[in-house]
Homo-oligomer: A and B are copies of this chain.
């Protein structure tokens, strides 16, 4: 489909959020799991069971709730709700953790009278105060509302901002909505991040199409951001869609439109995660052009994205571009300086092995922006890949050394 058509048919909803999607309700409350006393439990419930697909962390130390969800999704195709707790990840918590995750599930399923999934985020290696959580679930189920700002807040840990967004999509005379909510601020790197995201739509999508739709959307969003190169034990993205009724199935073109809208929601949520990265002062948009293979392009892009030297230069608004090329050279991909060209915010600083005299004050200015575009041509093939990454600031270190998260 031409981009113009998709752009015309898909529109952001001002102040939209997950609950812009009809048929969902939510509630959030304080259980005391977070010592700060902030909101730490959220419940998202659908009026009717929805088709579901999910993707989880590739970390070998997957948390108890992730293991439980994987097991559930082996033979469950529809769910009615999701419970999320923050403040405690229920990760590396052994047999007790597995039992606690299951109790959260059972409590939720009883309370909402339907199948559920369980997501947790917070500190690793500390047993979950399960009584507080189950009491919270009971109470939350009695306070469901068709809109609930607090859900986005109750999912946060070191995040400073709520992350929720919605788009409207026009398909064959019908208007559908796609909404999403996410959390994530540190431990963010492809595959996948200390992040949770729930995306839902009232567009009718068959269960068997959901997994490929979600994979495409995640590959192009949550897999293209990096905060600190770490990935977590709890990462999860869940997609829920209305099951098609007989006669309500979308055409191929309609499905593609909804697919695009889901992609937009995921990209917006991913962008808001990087922009709210722990201690971040600015982000870089890294584009690697002309790599030999997708794998090469990804390795080079990630090598720049995680380089502490590039990230600290970015934090200092210091256009010390030699570090960018050195990071690319450090990717393990066979590259030669003679084939490399580097542009910073449209200014060429290095071209095919030679330094290009650049206007230093313009470079300084470019590197001081909120978002810095880095374009690295490596000249070994046709593949392009991009990634959004945060800087590495003193504040990041402060957050991660002085607080136990």
Contact = CB atoms under 8 A, between A and B. Distances in A.
B231 A330 contact: yes
A231 B396 CA distance: 22
Given A322-B125, A401-B393, A404-B318, A308 B230 contact: yes
Nearest to A319: B404
A10 B294 CA distance: 51
A328 interface: yes
B394 A91 contact: no
B400 A397 contact: no
A353 B93 CA distance: 7
A397 B393 contact: yes
A92 to B, nearest CB: 5
Contacts of A396: 308, 312, 397
A325 B92 contact: yes
A337 B62 CA distance: 9
A321 B126 CA distance: 10
A60 B334 CA distance: 6
B325 A124 contact: yes
B228 A308 contact: yes
A150 to B, nearest CB: 27
Interface string A116-158: 0000000111110000000000000000000000000000000
Contacts of A393: 397, 401
A326 B353 CA distance: 40
Interface string A218-237: 00000000001111110000
Interface string A260-272: 0000000000000
A212 interface: no
B125 A316 contact: no
Contacts of A350: 92, 125
A60 B329 contact: yes
A25 B350 CA distance: 40
A8 interface: no
A397 B355 contact: no
A286 interface: no
A334 B61 CA distance: 10
A394 B397 CA distance: 6
Interface residues of A, number: 68
Contacts of A340: 61
A74 interface: no
Given A334-B60, A354-B95, A394-B394, A309 B228 contact: yes
Contact of A309 (B125, B186, B306, B321): B186
B306 A229 contact: yes
A333 interface: yes
A60 B353 contact: no
Nearest to A279: B397
A60 B335 contact: yes
A100 to B, nearest CB: 12
A59 B336 CA distance: 10
A156 B335 CA distance: 29
Contacts of A327: 230
A394 B355 CA distance: 32
A203 interface: no
A320 interface: yes
B94 A353 contact: yes
Contacts of A124: 320, 322-323, 325-326
Nearest to A228: B308
Nearest to A234: B326
Instruction: List the 8 closest A-B pairs by CB distance, nearest first.
Output: A124-B322, A316-B401, A61-B329, A125-B322, A312-B400, A94-B354, A60-B329, A228-B308
10 contacts: A60-B336, A61-B326, A91-B326, A92-B326, A96-B354, A124-B320, A126-B355, A232-B326, A308-B308, A318-B401
